[in-house]
Structure 1
């Protein structure tokens, strides 16, 4: 039987580019060091990572709510490494088959392109994008319309069931969230050239990628200066999400709505679906669990309610 544990974390492409005060950076670094120590003690054989995309690998030409990569490649945005991940294809296919058998429709990709939403956690927590065997699980967190929040919980539960019979130590990682509303384009009302990019995708030119990254940087600078052009962070919402997941109150999770997420915490707060799936996967394998470390700071410079948690089966 699998032995499981969990780490969830926010990501931000502005880390190292638009940093807050040194004491805040030091606190984040200390929290990541604690997470790395937890992972080192757990010594996973496999990482199952739930993560979003930001119109870098998955586009409206075919936008699945969920997709599991049997093979995956990092595009290398925001100075993350480019190249192939060390995907455990056999386990990925096992997960796909089981998730489908549990009436959760999930897509399969033999060439899943991932961005900083996957690459940054792999680099921060493990030291590289190919440092550990992984199964990447894409969860749509930006492209409207989005399905009920409970579907992320159902996906996570099915993924947990799929790995429960493995003779492996499996770490579930949720990457994304919490409250944030960066300048990610919306298809509805987009200019024709932007809409075409969101639909067709393709490789951005160096100039286009630089312009895109500059817009995100300027949003972080404006938010930190109190001249926000984006929705402010919501620490109260973030705290409630973290409390509910730590308490395994999945009935509360099932009552959350996509509209409520956007109204309370910004369009990209839907990335917290990755945390929901990861906690549901842990619950499916461990039953009761306990959160052993929990960190949170609202960091406007990174346009992120920034959280890091670690959890394991309850004693």
Structure 2
């Protein structure tokens, strides 16, 4: 098997505002099983599709997509901090191949990543530098946003490139599902906050970083007490989305506009475009079989929390669901 995929929700609230122990144990079992499957696959290269939350990408220059030539994690919300093991020459080749396929992606030799990238690497691989990683940023919070179509085409281009490497490639998608935590919007803020979103927030003072952390924690606590304080989670949409992934019906999402998705499931639900890109990349290896689907709405984490794996199949496997 030359490719494997795992998509996992991330949450900065893990360890800060947690659900009941039984739910934590359930999630821990899901993550541990995924980690074992990934270890058995033994990836030689990880391609990580993840968003950002105004920690590494700002309105001084806000690309729809960016491929990291080098990257480090900032360690927000207690996640791991430090450099990733990015294979620069491979990342450069990937970026060139994507552009040749007609998908415009920026590149960064100083990519700054937050919990959206660090958490899946820690939970699924055990650290930031366990396996060579090419990080791929997909803008999921800063309007104007890329469409489902563009995210799918990005994934397809990266997948076709990865299929030429002769390596065991793990595709990771990080984010979602339905949720809308208190992320500031440029059109609704001014003064210092607007300046932070335009770029000065790249290196926040410690007191501002802590205030930001506490603001999200407080929002989660209030959401548990009163689900009307934030956009509600949408388990029905989340289930539909997971089914589309399982059945290889990625292109059906092309018809869902950004405004419609925000209304259905919350403005931060655009993070699921990382899952679409990851599945599109895997589909470039041929028909796939999805497995180990998990879902639970967890208000303490302000998230419809999901997990799913997939791998390419041979004709002899006769997959129940295939692209």
TM over 0.5: yes
Q: In the alignment, which residue of structure 2 is the partner of 1:299?
A: 298
Q: In the alignment, which residue of structure 1 is the partner of 2:321?
A: none
Q: In the alignment, which residue of structure 2 is the partner of 1:245?
A: 245
Unaligned runs of 5+ in 1: none
> Following TM superposition, by how much is the alpha carbon of 1:191 offset from its aligned partner in structure 2, in angstroms?
2.2
Q: In the alignment, which residue of structure 2 is the partner of 1:46?
A: 45
Q: In the alignment, which residue of structure 1 is the partner of 2:320?
A: none
Q: In the alignment, which residue of structure 1 is the partner of 2:108?
A: 109
Question: What SS does the aligned partner of 1:8 have?
Answer: strand
Question: CA offsets per residue over residues 174-202 of structure 1, 9 Å max, x none?
Answer: 00000000000000121221111000233
CA RMSD of aligned residues (A): 1.0
TM-score normalised by the chain length of structure 2: 0.95
Question: CA offsets per residue over residues 227-254 of structure 1, 9 Å max, x none?
Answer: 5421010000100110001111022121
Question: What SS does the aligned partner of 2:203 have?
Answer: coil
Q: In the alignment, which residue of structure 2 is the partner of 1:132?
A: 131
Question: CA offsets per residue over residues 73-106 of structure 1, 9 Å max, x none?
Answer: 1111111122110001122111101110111000
Distance 1:22 1:256 in 2: 36
Contact 2:139-2:146 at 8 Å conserved across structures: no
Distance 1:84 1:155 in 2: 25
Which piece of structure 1 moves more, 72-81 or 299-308?
A: 72-81
Question: What SS does the aligned partner of 2:186 have?
Answer: coil
Contact 1:52-1:175 at 8 Å conserved across structures: yes
Q: In the alignment, which residue of structure 2 is the partner of 1:233?
A: 233
Give the paired residue count.
313
Contact 1:12-1:302 at 8 Å conserved across structures: yes
Distance 1:196 1:106 in 2: 25
Q: In the alignment, which residue of structure 2 is the partner of 1:66?
A: 65
Unaligned runs of 5+ in 2: 318-323
Distance 1:11 1:81 in 2: 13
Question: CA offsets per residue over residues 235-292 of structure 1, 9 Å max, x none?
Answer: 001001100011110221211110111000111000000000000000012x110112
Distance 1:236 1:215 in 2: 28
